[in-house]
Amino acid sequence: MSESSEISGHSGELAVHVARAHGVETMFTLSGAHVFPMYDGAVKTQEEGKGPQVRLLDVRHEQTAAFAAEATGKLTRVPGLAVLTAGPGVTNGISAIAQAQFAGSPMVVVGGRAPQNRWGTGSLQELDQPPIIAPVAKAAKTLMTAGDVAAGMDEAFTLARSSHRGPVFVDVPMDEFFNSASGTVGSGEGTRVDPDPDAIASVARLLAQAERPVLILGTDVWADHAEAAALRFVEDLGIPTLTNGMGRGVIPGGHRSLVTKARGAALSGADLVVVVGTPLDFRLGYGSFGGPDKNPAGEFAKVVHIADSPGQVAGHAELAGSVAGDLTTVLDGLQAALERGDKPDWQAWSDQLADQVRAAAARDAALLTAEADPIHPARIYGELVPRLADDSVVIGDGGDFVSFAGKYVEPQRPGGWLDPGPYGCLGAGLGAAIAARIARPSAQVTLLLGDGAAGFSLMDVDTLVRHDLPVVMVMGNNSAWGLEKGPMQMLYGYDVVADLGQRTPYDEVVRALGGAGETVTDPKQIGPALDRAYAAGVPYLVNVITDVEAAYPRSTFGI
């Protein structure tokens, strides 16, 4: 819908009409009586046979419904929709809501709620939910009457998709959910922030003066539809670039300016770091780059932070400049300002980092082809990366094993990488895989699973099977909580509660749920197993037994 229109019906119908107006195509849920009217609304739109319909996708745990909605928001840049029944249904979804808040993922969660005409008498699952969720959402409120639903839902979707994006929660009392009303549905659009031209000019001057700049592109570059502007900026100016989160793929893997493999050298040697669309958190050294222990000159880099809205600009770091607003406008404005003057020449710096990239690739080759027994996790990526299609959606759900993916997987297109983001929540993978298969029906979808992470949600392979959603799952099974085992040994000389069942055949779980899979213990069999998985056309788990001693060499533990 491009203009406001009048709608009528019971509250579930009203809510579905608004969701449709905002571009929602799938409702992720787990059956619950408190939200039956939402299902009826979806069924009736299907019966109408006119215009877009809302698909009902039911899962085995509410966390999966919420994680699927969160991933849908990331992939499509339209708010995902999760509908959760009252009480435990809602609380089961809170981790995914928090993940969406940290990652800036647009989503709307509709909760059931005990009936208002029974409130305070102890009816089933009576819980005041918005105060619990408010700290981890953009907004959380109760739509108290059927007359509040249309406007309240429209407000929720508009807020979720407006800069800075994030999750919005609403619940509706059960008695009011069944009542009827009328209302207005809006245009289905969000709002953006106009950046300050003077701030753009100031940052352009810093770039023009820099000799060794580095650009970092994060998730909000994709979320803000700025991927084309970012690629133009990088290609036309030749600035060395790093990516994280859903910024991965904005600059295609193998691009001359993408220096992921020389990340350490780039960030320690830079005199200016421009961070776009991602927070200055533990993943980026809290906004401190270089310094006495990092480069011969002993200098810290100047730092510029560019965000899609003022509230996202770092307040803890010392900034040389900042801009807040629509990221396409900012990037295009910076490029235009630089091209009006003497275009900076960063070729020597780019060549230096390119040499580092080539050297790192040569070093990586030994691990990517390792014949070690047990299997080194990197060998899995040596086999997987050549088999990833250009349109592949790669999902990471794990600790150490997925850390290796961040090192070796370089997507070829934007919008093709999903990870938990700075919240670091395990168990998001199956929901994200469900979302990816629906959002990208013709794409190759690969879920990277740690064996620990799999325990949170592997039952939802049943959902993949029931809804005919083939996904390839690749597991690095080191029979441990690898992210905790090594650090605890380092601190105490021993570890506890860090071991899992040895060589557990998780592929048998997948087969029991109607999928397929196999266990691999020989590195030479990884490639053939992946080929069988991609050809199977069903949910397929390649369960690779890996070396627990082959830990990812990390420089931060996130604190």
pLDDT tens track for 387-442 = 999 999 999 999 989 999 999 999 999 999 999 889 989 999 999 999 999 999 99
**Would the pLDDT of 50 be above 80?**
no
**Would the pLDDT of 59 be above 50?**
yes
Q: Quickly tell me which residue has 């199977």 as its tokens.
A: 536
- Give the pLDDT mean for 518-546: 98
What is the reported pLDDT for 295? 79
What is the reported pLDDT for 483? 86
Cα distance between residue 410 and residue 260, in whole Å: 9
What is the reported pLDDT for 2? 47
Cα distance between residue 404 and residue 129, in whole Å: 38
What is the reported pLDDT for 158? 96
Burial 371-387 (b: 16+ CB within 10 A, else e): eeebbbbbbbbbbbeee
- Give the pLDDT mean for 167-178: 97
Q: pLDDT per residue over 192-242, tens digit each?
A: 999 999 999 999 999 999 999 999 999 999 999 999 999 999 999 999 999
The sign of the dihedral angle between the CA atoms of 115, 118, 123, 127 is positive
Q: Is 388 helix (H, G, I), strand (E, B) or coil?
A: coil
**Would the pLDDT of 1 be above 80?**
no
Q: pLDDT per residue over 238-268, tens digit each?
A: 999 999 999 999 999 999 999 999 999 999 9
**Would the pLDDT of 497 be above 80?**
yes
Both tokens assigned to 68: 């699927």
Under the banding of pLDDT at 50, 70 and 90, the label for residue 556 is: low
Both tokens assigned to 447: 């879920």
Residue type, 39: Y
Sheet holding 393-397, edge to edge: 417-418, 393-397, 445-450, 472-477, 540-545, 516-520
Cα distance between residue 291 and residue 293, in whole Å: 6
- Bond preceding residue 17 cis, omega within 30 of 0: no
- Give the pLDDT mean for 180-185: 91
Cα distance between residue 358 and residue 356, in whole Å: 5
Task: For 511, list phi and psi in degrees, rounded to 5.
Answer: -65, -40
What is the reported pLDDT for 190? 87
**Would the pLDDT of 451 be above 90?**
yes
Instruction: Give yes or no for a contact between 507 and 541, defined as CB atoms under 8 angstroms apart.
Output: yes
Q: What is the pTM of this model?
A: 0.95
**Tell me, what DSSP letter sits at residue 196?**
P
What is the reported pLDDT for 536? 98
Instruction: Pick the closest to residue 169 from 134, 193, 221 (CA basis).
Output: 134
Instruction: Pick the closest to residue 66 from 39, 92, 86, 93 (CA basis).
Output: 93
Task: For 250, list phi and psi in degrees, rounded to 5.
Answer: -60, -40
What is the reported pLDDT for 5? 80
Return the bridge partners of 168, or none.
108, 139
Q: What is the DSSP string of 222-244?
A: HHTT-HHHHHHHHHHHT--EEE-
Phi-psi region of 286 (alpha: psi -120 to 50; beta: other; left: phi over 0): left
Cα distance between residue 180 and residue 504, in whole Å: 52
Q: Of 33-47, 348-362, 407-421, which range is least confident?
A: 33-47
What domains lie within the chain, and their CATH numbers? 5-185 (3.40.50.970), 197-354 (3.40.50.1220), 370-545 (3.40.50.970)
- Give the pLDDT mean for 270-294: 94
Cα distance between residue 151 and residue 129, in whole Å: 20
Instruction: Give yes or no for a contact between 204 and 272, defined as CB atoms under 8 angstroms apart.
Output: no
What is the reported pLDDT for 298? 84
Instruction: Give yes or no for a contact between 171 and 129, defined as CB atoms under 8 angstroms apart.
Output: yes
